[in-house]
Structure 1
Amino acid sequence: MNRLQRTLAAPALFRGTGLHGGGSSILTVLPAPLDHGRLFRVGGRDLPCRLDRVVGTERCTVLGDGEVRVATVEHVLAAAAGLGLDNLVLEIQGEEVPIMDGSALPFVQGFLQAGVVEQSAPIRPLSLDQPLFITRGDSLVVALPAENPAFEAAIHFTHPLVGAQHFCFRPDQDEFVSSLAPARTFGFWDEVQALLERGLARGADFANALVIGGEDGFSSAPRFPDEPVRHKVLDLVGDLALLERPLQARVLAVRAGHRLHLELAGKILKEGAHVRML
């Protein structure tokens, strides 16, 4: 993980709708100086992208501080982490990051179009001193010391179109842009109907999510045979971006979600990590 810190060469602009609230939002991502880190700017107030600002984990990751909140931050943070963009200001008008097509790919494309530039100092990744894990029921997340980072997930659903899936993303070997960024958020048709009846997922449609079930099987053609589990890995990468430094470890999430991802991240900071100086 030897590399220099990075930021954007120019601003990147994204417009769209929030998946859960359904409101319109505008996100402008700006370059930031060395050692700045990533933060959201909401109504002139700065909201750092870090674990102690997490205020919600139900169906998405929400950051907040007092009356300021930003929901569904995981996809844009996964795009930033996947491209190694360490220093950014994310100015948002609205309460939720736009869902775009349900993946991280539109953010990645916007960032690449704006340009990625290296800065004058190296990253300082986090390394683990010991294995760490969190369990809840039949869900598990575990982080292991590793020389080469890897992020993987395993899922199992009774629906025949999904079943059991596993995917491992290795940043030193795999291409984030092609293998992980395009994987869309997903849900099952009966689950989506129930959410809509409760007034939730008000921004969801077939253009920004992979809906499984119904008469046609899928709402659109899957981008990968194992697209659901790839999206789970994408969420894992986005949530771990709140560690504020790249993580040099192997992390496995089994039937897990945002809450467990972030509990593991907190345990990493509290019990088992040190900053590696390069």
Structure 2
Amino acid sequence: MTFQQTIGAQIDITGVGVHSGQSVRLSLLPAETDTGVVFHLSDKSGLLHEIKALSSNVVPTDLSTVVGDPAGPHVATVEHLMAALYAMGIDNVVVRIEGRETPIMDGCSAAFVDAIAEAGVVAQSAKRRYIRVLKPVRVELNGAFAEYVPAGTTRFEVEIDFPSSAIGRQRFAGDLTEGLFRNEIASARTFGFMKDVERLWASGHALGSSLANSVVIGDDDGIINSDGLRFTDEFVRHKTLDAVGDQALAGARVIGCYRSYRGGHKLNAIALQTLLADRRAFEFVELPARNRASSRHAPVVAAAAPAFGPQTI
């Protein structure tokens, strides 16, 4: 994967925003080399706004990842889509969206992954740039931490620890490839607690959440969804999906290990911004050198947000 890639055809998707509860129409369009991922949205006057999917445009929030100006043009809950694009190796795409939030679909990245696979992936003429982590970068917040450390692959090591007996302490680790993401991460759904629903509704969140797009934990710590869990550790897999999606906003694919404990969107964003702020902590490369750290190399992937329920960070 030394060359940039885009999608083979336009993709049209409709759904509901998990927090807004409003219908959303979204189209993915092939884009030229060095475009990156760019959101195009129109305001009520018809004026087009362009928002690049970059860490510098991220507004750190607990419930989802938002790019743009929360008081103006912005797109919320971009993590599931970004994760799918990252996992499928898409560097350049225009995301045309009618709404202010990407559709939640069934609470994960699977629908986006399937749509990209059907449209196909097209190699382009320009070489891809990578961000190689050169030294550890660590951030801590309220008993949680996240860090980047050098590694020869794109690796994620995510650990969560909830007081709920339905979740408890779980860990997921692996080198990110398209296959691993599609088979082990993409279908892990967002989750939340029934006890928090009314509070979130009152604050204007989770208005579109339902059992069709979220794993819901009841007051007795039981899983309310009649179909149960897709994985015994679906919760940490979804948190890994979140981390992948949030890292996709780096602007280039990261060669290094991202490790977090009790993390969330806010901590993911702070960790990436801290890495990119230290020019001694990373370097740009076009082709990963096999004789550094490891002979393996895997493409990176991207993330998602809990529909409702308290975030640890």
- Report the TM-score, using the length of structure 1 for normalisation: 0.95
- Mapped to 2, the partners of 1:42 and 1:197 lie a distance apart of 27
- Mapped to 2, the partners of 1:192 and 1:183 lie a distance apart of 21
Q: Name stretches of at least 5 consecutive residues in structure 1 with no aligned partner.
A: none
**What is the alpha-carbon root mean square deviation over aligned residues?**
1.6
Query: Residue type matched to 1:225 in 2?
Result: T
Query: Residue type matched to 1:270 in 2?
Result: A
Question: 8 Å contact 1:148–1:172 — kept in the other structure?
Answer: no
Identity, % of aligned positions: 36
- Mapped to 1, the partners of 2:277 and 2:257 lie a distance apart of 18
* Secondary structure in 1 matching 2:247: helix
Question: 8 Å contact 1:239–1:262 — kept in the other structure?
Answer: yes
- Mapped to 2, the partners of 1:123 and 1:101 lie a distance apart of 32
- Mapped to 1, the partners of 2:145 and 2:175 lie a distance apart of 20
State the Cα deviation string for residues 137-165 of structure 1 (Å, max 9, x = none): 21100110011121121011121111110
Question: 8 Å contact 2:60–2:265 — kept in the other structure?
Answer: no
C-alpha distance 93-177 of structure 1, shift in aligned 2 (>3 A): same
Counterpart residue number, 2:16: 17
* Secondary structure in 1 matching 2:111: helix
1:100 correspondence with 2:109: no
**Equivalent in 259, 262, 270 of residue 252 of structure 1:** 259
Moved over 3 A (4+): none
Q: How does 1:30-49 map to 2 (within 5 A)?
A: 30-43=29-42, 44-49=48-53
- Report the TM-score, using the length of structure 2 for normalisation: 0.85
Question: 8 Å contact 2:60–2:270 — kept in the other structure?
Answer: no
Query: Residue type matched to 1:246 in 2?
Result: R
C-alpha distance 87-42 of structure 1, shift in aligned 2 (>3 A): same
Q: Deviation at 1:52?
A: 1.6
C-alpha distance 95-181 of structure 1, shift in aligned 2 (>3 A): same
Counterpart residue number, 1:275: 284
Counterpart residue number, 2:142: 137
1:80 correspondence with 2:85: yes
1:178 correspondence with 2:183: yes
- Mapped to 2, the partners of 1:207 and 1:6 lie a distance apart of 32
**Equivalent in 59, 71, 78 of residue 76 of structure 2:** 71
- Mapped to 1, the partners of 2:199 and 2:67 lie a distance apart of 26
Question: 8 Å contact 1:78–1:237 — kept in the other structure?
Answer: yes
State the Cα deviation string for residues 45-73 of structure 1 (Å, max 9, x = none): 21100112113413001111472111000
Greater Cα shift, 40-49 or 65-74: 65-74
- Mapped to 1, the partners of 2:21 and 2:259 lie a distance apart of 32
Query: Residue type matched to 1:170 in 2?
Result: D
Q: Name stretches of at least 5 consecutive residues in structure 2 with no aligned partner.
A: 43-47, 288-313
Q: Deviation at 1:172?
A: 4.4
Query: Residue type matched to 1:259 in 2?
Result: K
Question: 8 Å contact 2:88–2:178 — kept in the other structure?
Answer: no
Greater Cα shift, 243-252 or 113-122: 113-122
**Equivalent in 230, 237, 249 of residue 244 of structure 2:** 237
1:159 correspondence with 2:159: no
Counterpart residue number, 2:2: 3
